[in-house]
Amino acid sequence: MIRIGSLALVIGAVLSSPVSAQSELVERGDYLVNGILTCGNCHTPKGPSGEIRDKAFSGGTSWDQPPFKVTASNITQDKETGIGNYTDAELKQLLRKGVKRNGARVAMIMPSGFYEIMTDRDLDAVIAYLRTIKPIRNAVPEPVYKMAQEHPVPPGGESPYTEAVLSDKVQQGFYLVTIAHCMECHTPMGPQGREFATSMGAGGGKFTGPWGVSVSRNISSSKTKGIGGWTDDEIKRAITQGVSKDGSKLNPPMGFHYYATVSAADLDAIVAYLRTVPPKE
Ligand code: HEC
Ligand code: HEC
């Protein structure tokens, strides 16, 4: 009895030790960063046959657009060319508010406005995971800002969610779709920015890359133009395998190779939320 009792005590102590709490946080961060958050979709360099995995997070895609000419930063732990010198507080400020360590506003292609909603726990988890990324030395070109960078925040995503709000399935789905910045790609751009209020999920964004040109599709609940007439399984297959309802293959930058690891419960929540997006014809 005594021996069993003390063994249980020892196990209890191990389970609640700071070390295992930390490794749970890292695991959660790994799940988010390499899944729904698709950080590597921008921050990992790409070669002719896709992402260069052994250089993961060492600096990625470049954009030259009217508001900026930038390259996705090296976010490995290298102190000189990566983010090894950022403190946790500075990283939080960058991720949620879009302000860099040197005080500059990050280019608005970095979806920081979509991370304002991130729960404190998930933000801690992302940072805990980033700390485990091995340093890779790779200096990316300095950013050029051609105008003041804004920090657009999607409606409903203005402040951090609590774990309690996430117990509602549709709210959980909204949370996941927001941090995944799905609607940033799937909502048309108007003169005042993304038209979330009037055209949420209507599609129309153009993306050019080695795949040619892809145009984001209507993912509102419209039965004829959107995904309102699709089954749950068809929606999940499009998200996680990149296969449309008619069986055709989808192109990047739709992040299906990242979404492949999204859990069944999270996928259910995403579908539950997408069903509530008003139809756009
Ligand atoms: C759509 C592309 C895109 C996605 C997705 C993205 N980023 Fe970025 N990120 C960028 C670009 C581009 C920059 C550089 C902007 C600049 O220099 O102003 C950047 C900058 C950063 C910086 C600032 C580093 C520095 O140079 O000071 C950090 C940290 C960062 N991203 C982390 C992340 C993390 C973590 C994720 C996932 C949660 C993520 N990013 C998702 C494009 C992206
Ligand atoms: C970086 C931009 C980007 C992000 C982020 C993104 N998508 Fe997409 N998505 C696209 C593009 C572009 C296509 C069309 C690809 C093609 O035509 O080959 C697409 C296609 C789709 C389709 C297929 C629709 C059809 O008619 O076949 C669905 C469903 C979808 N996305 C849902 C989502 C969801 C849900 C998320 C977030 C978890 C998401 N997307 C995030 C760009 C994006």
Q: Which residue has the tokens 């790779």?
A: 138
Q: What Cα–Cα distance (Å) separates residue 28 from each residue in 121, 129, 142, 169, 171?
A: 9, 8, 32, 19, 19
Query: 262 C-alpha vs ligand 2 centroid, how far in Å?
Result: 15
Burial class (CB in 10 A: 0-12, 13-18, 19+), 243: middle
Read off the pLDDT of residues 98-107 as tens digits, 9 standing for 90 and up. 999 999 999 9
- The parts of the chain modelled with pLDDT lower than 70 are 1-16
222 C-alpha to ligand 1 centroid (Å): 33
Per DSSP, 166 falls in state: G
C-alpha 231/C-alpha 229 separation (Å) is 7
Query: What residue's CA is closest to ligand 1, atom 20?
Result: 73
**Average pLDDT of the residues of the chain:** 94
Write out pLDDT tens, residues 208-248: 888 899 999 999 999 999 999 999 999 999 999 999 999 99
Look at residue 1 in the predicted model and tell me its pLDDT: 44
Q: What is the DSSP letter of 249?
A: B
Task: Tell me the C-alpha distance between 40 and 92, whole Å.
Answer: 18
Residue 3 is predicted with a pLDDT of 55
Domain 161-281, CATH number (from 1.10.1750, 1.10.760, 1.10.10, 1.20.1050): 1.10.760
Nearest CA owner, ligand 1 atom 5? 39
Looking at the CA of 175, name the nearest ligand.
Answer: 2
- Which ligand 2 atom is the nearest neighbour of the CA of 270? 35
Measured by CA distance, the residue closest to atom 11 of ligand 1 is 72
Residue 201: its pLDDT value, please?
97
CA of 223 to the centre of ligand 1 (A): 35
CA 251 to ligand 2: nearest atom:
18
Residue nearest to atom 9 of ligand 1 (CA): 110
**Residue 268 CB neighbours (<10 A):** 15
pTM of the model: 0.94
Ligand 2 mean position, distance from CA 53 (Å): 23
Q: Pairing relation of β-strands 189-190 and 212-215? A: unpaired
Confidence at residue 12, expressed as pLDDT on a 0 to 100 scale: 52
